[in-house]
Amino acid sequence: MAQMADIAFLGTGLMGAPMARRLLAAGHRVTVWNRTPAKAEALAGDGARVAPNPADAVADAAIVITIVSDAAAVTDLYFTQGAVQAARGGALFIDMSSIQPSVARDLAARLADAGRRAIDAPVSGGTPGAEAGSLAIMAGGGEDDIEQARPVLEAMGQVTRVGPHGAGQLAKLCNQAIVAISIGAVSEALYLAEKGGADPAAVREAIRGGFAESRILDLHGARIVARDWRPGGPSTLQLKDLDNVLAAAQEAGVDLPLSRQMRERYHSLVHELGGADLDHSALYLELEARNLAST
């Protein structure tokens, strides 16, 4: 039987809440905090202790997990709100947010200076994967630290070490580039089907199982057909990730033309069409607006 851990879980939103529930179901002792208290309090019935602030949450934790909106929020939790200072010496901080690789490396260095350890371990799989415990977890950091964290992370999904600090975030950006470009491709295919006189739902079913099959065609294709834009992955976060993709590309000295195009399209969806809080499959709406504007 896996050893149970004392875990502080900071950030219990769309992804964090089901991830924390998986840890509780695995028998870990979990203290939760969220900037909107009601979202943390909802986990009390699952056995979580609810902390009034981040510093209180981490006080007795061997492992501190964060999953929040962006790098600024992670940095604020760690240093402005005092989570790092309040944690025990040698505590392992696992950031599962999606942030820039350069920031992940900087945070790891700052944590080491403070006598704490760090892993960047962003995830893919959306809320269904979080609920099922089947997330893809891309871990960057020291081998020993990742092995220590593995029993905890495996309660939430499949863990792969992809390199040193920052490599987990780089892997997530690779994932997000594929996701955005694939949503664009599925949107164009289903839009062509609709405007060309075919049934988009039937076309989606017809091409499934062939070379075009993918999780995007399966899940996001179904959302597009149903015009269900309730957020699993909000478009504003997809735009943030694409901004980070392009920043990482600039740092690496490479040009990513498809990622650049998708970044502009998500920027239009979020800032011109009011789609910030819609699911990222709502890129279909940008395609519709683009075509209406050209007629």
User: Rounded to an integer, what distance in angstroms lies between the CA atom of residue 217 and that of residue 148?
Assistant: 36
pLDDT classification of 1: cutoffs 50, 70, 90: very low
**Taking phi first (over 0 means left), then psi (-120 to 50 degrees means alpha), and beta for anything else, what does residue 290 get?**
alpha
Residues 17 and 102 in one domain: yes
DSSP 236: H
Cβ contacts of 284-292, under 8 Å, gap ≥ 24? 284/187, 284/190, 284/191, 284/224, 285/229, 287/187, 287/188, 287/191, 288/191, 291/191, 291/195
User: Residues 74-88: what's their mean pLDDT?
Assistant: 97
**pLDDT tops 80 at residue 251:** yes
User: Rounded to an integer, what distance in angstroms lies between the CA atom of residue 54 and that of residue 111?
Assistant: 16
User: Residues 198-211: what's their mean pLDDT?
Assistant: 97
**pLDDT tops 50 at residue 126:** yes
For the segment 271-288, what is each residue's pLDDT rounded down to a tens digit?
999 999 999 999 999 999
Residues 109 and 33 in one domain: yes
DSSP string, 24-45: HHTT-EEEEE-SSHHHHHTTGG
User: Rounded to an integer, what distance in angstroms lies between the CA atom of residue 196 and that of residue 174?
Assistant: 33
Predicted local confidence at residue 3, as pLDDT: 75
Residues 25 and 158 in one domain: yes
Please give the residue range of the domain that contains residue 116.
6-164
Catalytic residue check, 172: yes
Specify if 1 maps to a domain.
Answer: no
For the segment 109-124, what is each residue's pLDDT rounded down to a tens digit?
999 999 999 999 999 9
Residues 287 and 212 in one domain: yes
**CATH number of the domain that residue 103 is part of:** 3.40.50.720
User: Rounded to an integer, what distance in angstroms lies between the CA atom of residue 141 and that of residue 152?
Assistant: 16
Residues 14 and 122 in one domain: yes
pLDDT classification of 147: cutoffs 50, 70, 90: very high
User: Residues 55-70: what's their mean pLDDT?
Assistant: 96
pTM exceeding the 0.85 threshold for the entire prediction: yes
Average pLDDT, rounded, for the chain: 96
Q: Which residues of 239-262 are buried (b: 16+ CB within 10 A; e: fewer)?
A: bbbbebbbebbeeeeeebeebeeb
What percent of the chain is predicted at pLDDT more than 70?
99
**pLDDT tops 90 at residue 139:** yes
Residues 57 and 91 in one domain: yes
User: Residues 239-252: what's their mean pLDDT?
Assistant: 95
Residues 115 and 189 in one domain: no
**CATH number of the domain that residue 243 is part of:** 1.10.1040.10
User: Residues 238-243: what's their mean pLDDT?
Assistant: 95
Domain count, the chain: 2
**pLDDT tops 90 at residue 4:** no
User: Residues 29-55: what's their mean pLDDT?
Assistant: 97
User: Rounded to an integer, what distance in angstroms lies between the CA atom of residue 11 and that of residue 66?
Assistant: 6
SS3 47: coil
For the segment 95-106, what is each residue's pLDDT rounded down to a tens digit?
999 999 999 999
Residues 67 and 131 in one domain: yes
User: Residues 161-169: what's their mean pLDDT?
Assistant: 98
Predicted local confidence at residue 295, as pLDDT: 82
Predicted local confidence at residue 2, as pLDDT: 55
Among the listed residues 39, 172, 195, 240, the single catalytic one is 172
Predicted local confidence at residue 270, as pLDDT: 98
